[in-house]
Amino acid sequence: MGLNGVVVVDKPAGWTSMDVCAKLRGVFGEKRVGHAGTLDPMATGVLPVLVGRATRAVDFVAQGEKEYVAALRLGVETDTQDLTGAVLAQAPVPPEARQGLEALLPRFTGEIDQIPPMYSAVKVGGRKLYELARKGVEVERRPRRVTIHTLEILDQSGPEEFTLRVVCSKGTYVRTLCHDLGRALGCGGAMAALRRTRVGRFTLERAVTLEALVQAPRPAALLTGVEECFDQSAVTIRGRALTLALHGNPFPLEAPAGEYKVFGPDGAFLLLGKSDGAVCRIVKSFYEVTP
């Protein structure tokens, strides 16, 4: 049996999310390594990495709510909407910038529309936007509906430097949020730094640095069970129900309707299931299939 589990990596700046996965394939000696929720190279923080058959949970984790701490620089706009890009425009920052920002926060909280930045992996006509952007091509992008659950100013370190806390849905571009806030304030804005502090249930407090993983004598010991990806209630099955489940079939489960983490009698996490109150159907299986 190969490795199976999840580790929360504190992604370092300068690495792509795929760079981290490539490195960990070598560290764990496992080809199946995936991440849940891409971070730009300049960003740091929580990157859930799933190993082995735990990669089957990638989409579930990626759907989780995200939390970020971002640095906003007012008075500048760039082609990437962050400070790694080429400057497109500069403007003086109003003296009452903080009050202006505070007044704007409600407008950017709740369901909002964002236009994906050109420097993003969104595809238009089968081409990734950043591939077109690198060739100097700009195309029309459709707005995307995202949800900003929380948006607040944590700190102000200078006339044009603010620290924001953002809790948002999947698909939210924090650098676009910074750009749009600056544009609404009338002076422009760009993201100066970004640190992700949470993805779903996974927080920065439980994150491991990439360096610690690489240097660990037993990296596999840092993996936790894939069941940690889910917050559904747990049930244990035995006998006929267990036999049916292990063959991929619906199985009897007397429990209130809803989703459950389903375990075997030995405590092994088997699957995520959805019950109608009497019968449970498999949403995603995580047990090892034996020939």
Q: Which residues are part of the catalytic machinery? A: 40
DSSP state of 170: T
The encoded tokens of residue 225 equal: 């069970």
Which segments of the chain does DSSP mark as H helices, in order? 17-28, 58-62, 97-104, 129-134, 174-185, 210-215, 239-246
CA distances from residue 258 to 253, 273, 277, 279 in whole angstroms, order as listed: 11, 8, 8, 11
Phi, psi dihedral angles at 34 (to 5 degrees): -140, 160
**What's the alpha-carbon Rg for the chain, to the nearest Å?**
22
How far is 224 from 209, CA to CA, in rounded Å? 15
225: exposed, middle or buried (C-beta count within 10 Å: 0-12, 13-18, 19+)?
middle
Crossing angle of helices 174-185 and 97-104, in 10° steps, is: 120
